[in-house]
């Protein structure tokens, strides 16, 4: 008996409410949303048909939901019949495009409209805001449309009706906070296929691959040439442009997060070079790409195009919000999600940050305590030889108290750094009081001062990297810097007392 032919179904997803699709598994802090709908979300919606399909054939249920017999593609922005795919990383030439966006085959560019809302949990015993329960969500705004491609393999086509019934049943809820005015969408089958980009001819000595979705490689490095369907003699070129993302999908059946995944981020451009491919090798390459790269292809991962014309398009000159014309206003330099500036929210955010970032600040400050101890030993030794008092050779306890006060009262990262380190009025740089902060000694072969160590401890790019590791927004960098300053201002005087008790 012959099996039914493979099927491709297009699903239109209309957002009736804002949708929160967090890009990490973090349970605290300011959540950032994805600006597309992962295929795994649609797989979760379709899972309501699992029992029906399993009752018919357990092996078929396994093939559909576990073995990738059905590939649930990502929901990509849809406008005027065009599907918008991730902007190639090679075209992100300005700050406005660092966070990506989407491009269509006609060259149009858009970024889905996002919004930020702050919330707080309520204590049911008092009816008032629950202490330390301030949080915020960024979300994809209601009113926008997305398109997903569902590929059903040969032998699984008989599940078409059951899957469509599950996916198009109303209402459908996706994402986080479904009981708090988020997540309702309407899914319908699209009769007309949208305009999608296609492969280019895989000819020549160089082939460029655009990832239309995240790609979970088998190993921790870039995919090998053979994973892409290329001969083993091909190798990655220097102009490869990739980014990585870490996340843990939430499994609603088990009510828990699945293991964390490290994936190549959509929009990455892989460039491989090697001898020209013959006809058989070209066919193998395209077949490999169409089957999907890496793991979790059933959830929409591993979609890539070879030599697509999108990579060759010039960078977009304007940024259009969802459903706006292409000649919309120029992009802002701000992030997608802007933290409100009202004083009450800033005060609440600071209180929340003290609880959220305390352990991170302690760890960051501890990295510098040994360096400060080594510096004080050397400065005091040199001071004794030169006939200077300890307070002349290195910052005193009182001076660390002044540093702590400046940290408490600074209103922004720029203000904090100015009050501490500016040559005009910084307490660690200006005037006679700054002399002890500027005293240098050689540590690990480098001239080092207390001011330079403090400057390094609150270096903004370093703090942002630390926040990235904790999956927290860069907006908390100022709060983290203040907490590090406060910690050092307490620990360094204690360290000074211990050094004084040691023999000279």
The model's confidence at residue 336, banded by pLDDT at 50, 70 and 90, is very low
Q: Is residue 332 scored above 60 in pLDDT?
A: no
Q: What is the mean pLDDT of residues 292-312?
A: 89
The model's confidence at residue 121, banded by pLDDT at 50, 70 and 90, is low
Radius of gyration for the alpha carbons in the chain, expressed in angstroms and rounded: 28
Helix (H, G, I), strand (E, B) or coil at 499: helix
pLDDT digits (tens, 9 = 90+) for 380-396: 888 888 888 887 888 88
Q: Is residue 358 scored above 80 in pLDDT?
A: no
Q: Is residue 284 scored above 80 in pLDDT?
A: yes
Query: What's the whole-number average pLDDT of the chain?
Result: 80
Helix (H, G, I), strand (E, B) or coil at 388: coil
Cβ atoms of 194 and 263 within 8 Å: the answer is no
- Quote the percentage of the chain above a pLDDT of 70: 81
Q: Is residue 129 scored above 60 in pLDDT?
A: no
Cβ atoms of 37 and 75 within 8 Å: the answer is yes
The DSSP call for residue 238 is T
The model carries a pTM of 0.61
Q: What is the mean pLDDT of residues 46-58?
A: 89
- Computed from CA positions of residues 169, 175, 179, 180, in that sequence, does the dihedral angle turn out positive or negative? negative
Q: Is residue 94 scored above 50 in pLDDT?
A: no
Task: Say what the pLDDT of residue 212 is.
Answer: 93
Q: Is residue 310 scored above 80 in pLDDT?
A: yes
Q: How many angstroms separate the Cα of 402 from the Cα of each of 53, 372, 396, 420, 485?
A: 69, 17, 10, 9, 11
pLDDT digits (tens, 9 = 90+) for 346-355: 556 555 555 6
Helix, strand and coil in the chain, % to nearest 5: 40, 25, 40
The DSSP call for residue 159 is G
Residue of higher predicted confidence among 406 and 250:
406
The DSSP call for residue 361 is H
Q: What is the mean pLDDT of residues 112-126?
A: 70
Q: Is residue 138 scored above 70 in pLDDT?
A: yes
The model's confidence at residue 333, banded by pLDDT at 50, 70 and 90, is very low
**Cα 130 from Cα 123, distance rounded (Å):** 5
């Amino acid at each position: 008996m012959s099996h039914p032919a493979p099927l491709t179904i297009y699903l239109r997803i209309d957002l009736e409410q804002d949708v929160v699709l967090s890009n990490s598994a973090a349970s605290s802090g300011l959540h950032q949303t994805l600006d597309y709908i992962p295929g795994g979300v649609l797989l979760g919606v379709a899972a309501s048909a699992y029992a029906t399909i399993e009752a018919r054939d357990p092996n078929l249920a396994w093939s559909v939901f576990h073995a990738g017999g059905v590939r649930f593609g990502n929901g990509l922005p849809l406008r005027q019949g065009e599907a918008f795919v991730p902007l190639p990383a090679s075209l992100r030439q300005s700050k406005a495009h660092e966070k990506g966006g989407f491009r269509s085959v006609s060259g149009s560019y858009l970024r889905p409209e996002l919004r930020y809302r702050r919330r707080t949990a309520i204590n049911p015993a008092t009816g008032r805001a629950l202490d330390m329960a301030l949080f915020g969500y960024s979300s994809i705004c209601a009113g926008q449309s997305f398109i997903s491609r569902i590929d059903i393999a040969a032998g699984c086509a008989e599940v078409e009706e059951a899957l469509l019934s599950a996916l198009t049943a109303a209402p459908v809820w996706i994402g986080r906070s479904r009981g708090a005015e988020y997540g309702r969408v309407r899914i319908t089958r699209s009769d007309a296929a949208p305009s999608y980009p296609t492969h280019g001819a895989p000819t020549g000595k160089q082939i460029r691959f655009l990832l239309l979705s995240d790609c979970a490689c088998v190993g921790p490095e870039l995919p090998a040439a053979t994973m892409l369907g290329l001969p083993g003699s091909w190798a990655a070129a220097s102009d490869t442009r990739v980014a990585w993302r870490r996340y843990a999908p939430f499994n609603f059946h088990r009510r828990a997060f699945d293991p964390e995944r490290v994936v190549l981020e959509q929009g990455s451009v892989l460039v491989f070079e090697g001898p020209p491919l013959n006809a058989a090798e070209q066919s193998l390459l395209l077949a490999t790409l169409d089957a999907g790269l890496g793991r979790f292809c059933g959830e929409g991962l591993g979609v890539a195009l070879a030599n697509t014309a999108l990579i060759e398009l010039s960078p977009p000159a304007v940024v259009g919000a969802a459903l706006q014309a292409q000649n919309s206003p120029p992009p802002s330099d701000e992030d997608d999600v802007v933290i409100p500036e009202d004083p009450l929210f800033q005060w609440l955010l600071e209180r929340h940050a003290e609880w959220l970032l305390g352990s991170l600040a302690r760890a960051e400050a501890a990295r510098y305590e040994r360096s400060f101890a080594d510096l004080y030993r050397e400065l005091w030794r040199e001071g004794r030889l030169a006939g200077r008092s300890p307070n002349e050779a290195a910052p005193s306890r009182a001076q660390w108290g002044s540093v702590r006060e400046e940290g408490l009262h600074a209103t922004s990262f720029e203000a904090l750094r100015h009050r501490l380190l500016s040559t005009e009025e910084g307490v660690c740089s200006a005037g006679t009081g700054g002399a002890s902060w500027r005293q240098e000694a050689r540590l690990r072969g480098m001239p080092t001062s207390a001011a330079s160590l403090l400057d390094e401890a609150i270096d903004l790019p370093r703090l942002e990297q630390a926040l990235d590791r904790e999956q927290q927004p860069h907006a908390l960098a100022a709060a983290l810097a203040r907490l590090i300053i406060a910690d050092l201002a307490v620990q360094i005087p204690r360290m000074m007392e211990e050094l004084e008790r040691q023999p000279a």
